[in-house]
């Protein structure tokens, strides 16, 4: 998207292009879309009005990021890694307080007793996790010795779990409960007795050339952090509120994983950005 010159006398309406939902059952999309609307609304007085538009067809995570530099879309959101931060500009404020890296396994209800019998990471590593083929999570899991079935399409992951093509599907605490309300998921459940924990902040990304949009997003999100509005948004949005209170996970077994692809620029020195379990 070409930069729009802002003057003291006129604020042009900007059209910002996004990709559509990757699946009609991908409820987490609305969280990021609504957050973007709020950021743009909060910065409207200084930067002007924004109209969000979606392109006709969904994109894979990798193609969505590459489409920033080709100009097909203007903003996307994704878990970060070293390669992505080299090629695209991240707004380094974790959009859900870092909770994307708290993963609860979705399992078939019929296998509950089996998972209740797991007490070590070594036992879980004998099973196979469904994950996105282009997600950083797949690289993190494999680097830590977990078996992964990499799948391109989001809808197929739940289908493959239902058909025993994998044993569990690790989902972020912010995603899982809304997703399980979808059709054909009545036989599935989030098994809260086990959590996988690794550092994986979710950021908004823009192209390296779009300095105006980078500045606006950073300014808007920083203001929300300072006022507490971002944490309020996380805890009250319809997609994410069901993961609270986090005290419900204090009795869960937590298996910690190392993220070898995490950039050194990750702002861990700012405790106000992170929500701790």
Give me the DSSP letters along 115-159.
HHT--SHHHHTTSEEEEETT-HHHHHHHHTT-EEEEESSHHHHHH
Distance in angstroms (rounded) separating the CA atoms of residues 198 and 229: 25
Distance in angstroms (rounded) separating the CA atoms of residues 182 and 180: 5
Give this prediction's pTM. 0.90
Distance in angstroms (rounded) separating the CA atoms of residues 42 and 210: 20
Structural domains of the chain in order of their starting residue, each with its CATH number: 14-98+201-243 (3.40.190.10), 101-197 (3.40.190.10)
Cβ atoms of 79 and 100 within 8 Å: the answer is: yes
My answer on whether omega of the bond before 245 falls inside 30° of 0, hence cis, is yes
Q: What is the pLDDT of residue 4?
A: 40
Nearest of 90, 105, 224 to residue 170 by alpha carbon: 105
Nearest of 277, 272, 219 to residue 94 by alpha carbon: 272
What are 170's strand-pairing partners?
Answer: 105
Q: What is the pLDDT along the chain (277 residues), one digit of tens a residue?
A: 434 444 444 577 899 999 998 877 678 899 999 999 999 999 999 999 999 999 999 888 889 999 999 999 999 999 999 999 999 999 999 999 999 999 999 999 999 999 999 999 999 999 999 999 989 999 999 999 999 999 988 889 999 999 999 999 999 998 898 889 888 899 999 999 999 999 999 999 999 999 999 999 999 999 999 999 999 999 999 999 989 999 999 999 999 999 999 999 999 999 999 998 8
- Side-chain-side CA neighbours of residue 35 (13 Å): 33
């Amino acid at each position: 998207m070409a930069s729009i010159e802002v003057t003291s006398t006129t604020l042009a309406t900007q059209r910002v292009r996004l990709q559509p939902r990757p699946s009609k059952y991908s409820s987490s999309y609305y969280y990021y879309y609504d957050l973007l609307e709020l950021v743009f609304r909060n910065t409207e007085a200084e930067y002007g009005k924004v109209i969000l538009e979606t392109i006709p067809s969904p994109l894979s995570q990798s193609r969505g990021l590459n489409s920033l530099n080709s100009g097909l879309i203007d903003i996307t959101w994704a878990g970060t890694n070293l390669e992505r931060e080299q090629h695209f500009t991240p707004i380094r404020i974790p959009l859900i307080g870092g909770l994307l890296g708290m993963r609860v396994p979705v399992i078939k209800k019929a296998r509950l007793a089996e998972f209740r019998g797991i007490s070590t990471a070594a036992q879980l590593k004998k099973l196979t996790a469904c994950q996105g083929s282009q997600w950083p999570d797949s690289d993190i899991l494999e680097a830590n010795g977990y078996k992964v079935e990499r799948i391109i399409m989001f809808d197929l992951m739940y289908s493959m779990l239902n058909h025993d093509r994998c044993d569990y599907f690790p989902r972020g605490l912010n995603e899982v409960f809304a997703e399980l309300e979808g059709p054909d998921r009545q036989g599935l459940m989030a098994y809260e007795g086990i959590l996988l924990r690794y550092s994986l902040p979710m950021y908004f990304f823009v192209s390296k050339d779009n300095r105006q949009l980078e500045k606006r997003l950073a300014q808007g999100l920083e203001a929300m952090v300072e006022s507490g509005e971002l944490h309020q948004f996380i805890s009250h949005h319809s997609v994410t509120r069901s993961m609270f209170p986090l005290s419900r996970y204090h009795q869960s077994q937590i298996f910690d994983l190392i993220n070898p692809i995490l950039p050194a620029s990750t702002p861990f020195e700012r405790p106000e950005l992170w929500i701790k379990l």
